[in-house]
Amino acid sequence: MKKKLLFIGPPGAGKGTQANLFCKKYGIDHLSTGDLLRDEVSSGSVLGIKAAETMNQGELVSDELVLSIVEGRLLNSNKGWLLDGFPRNVNQANSLKHLLEKINQPLEAVISIKIADDYLIKRLLARGREDDNEEVIVNRLKIYRYKTSPLIDLYSKQGILKEIDGNDDIDVVFSCIEKALG
């Protein structure tokens, strides 16, 4: 099973849900920038307060903050890792490339979870997190399309992209991911 991974997909595609299941089953580190940022927000730090404003508008938090969080975690990981929600733009993807070269741990596969917008909106409204209201969700989808989705082409050209249909039951999607990474 591949153990140096990246999950990419629009908000609500199920990246976090699938990444959790995968990391528990295969014993690798789950590096979710969304969760790490939410931890920073809960801590009440100055950085957290700034990040919360950005997240609640559905915008991307600064690359510097996200990178510093990811770098520390990757440097301390020795059993394999799964990046969930990072990188989210070309600049972050370039930084990740340099970082992985520096630590000599090449990315083995990228899972792209695909799903139609109306399902995403329904799922996120049902989840009901602070940044899950319709106006913010529409903004997050727009940002995903402009800034994040070009990365799919980038990883496809590197020959490491696997596309998964996210519009099915959680366990069915999980089996497809295991098959793609086996």
Q: Which residues are catalytic?
A: 15, 88, 127, 129, 140
How far is the CA of 43 from the CAs of 66, 103, 139, 148, in angstroms? 16, 29, 26, 28
Nearest C-alpha neighbor of 114 from the set 9, 12, 34: 9
Minimum gap (Å) between residue 119 Cβ and ligand B4P: 8
Q: Which residue is nearest to ligand B4P (CB)?
A: 34
CB of 156 to ligand B4P, least distance (A): 20
Residues near ligand B4P, by CB under 6 A? 9, 11-17, 33-34, 37, 54-55, 58, 60-61, 66, 85-86, 88, 92, 123, 127, 131, 140, 169-170, 173
Phi-psi region of 165 (alpha: psi -120 to 50; beta: other; left: phi over 0): beta
The answer to whether the beta carbons of residues 154 and 93 sit under 8 Å apart is yes
Can you read off the two tokens belonging to residue 178? 């295991």
Name the residue with tokens 């990740």: 96
Nearest distance from residue 177's CB to ligand B4P, in Å? Answer: 11
In whole angstroms, the minimum distance from the beta carbon of 169 to ligand B4P comes to 6
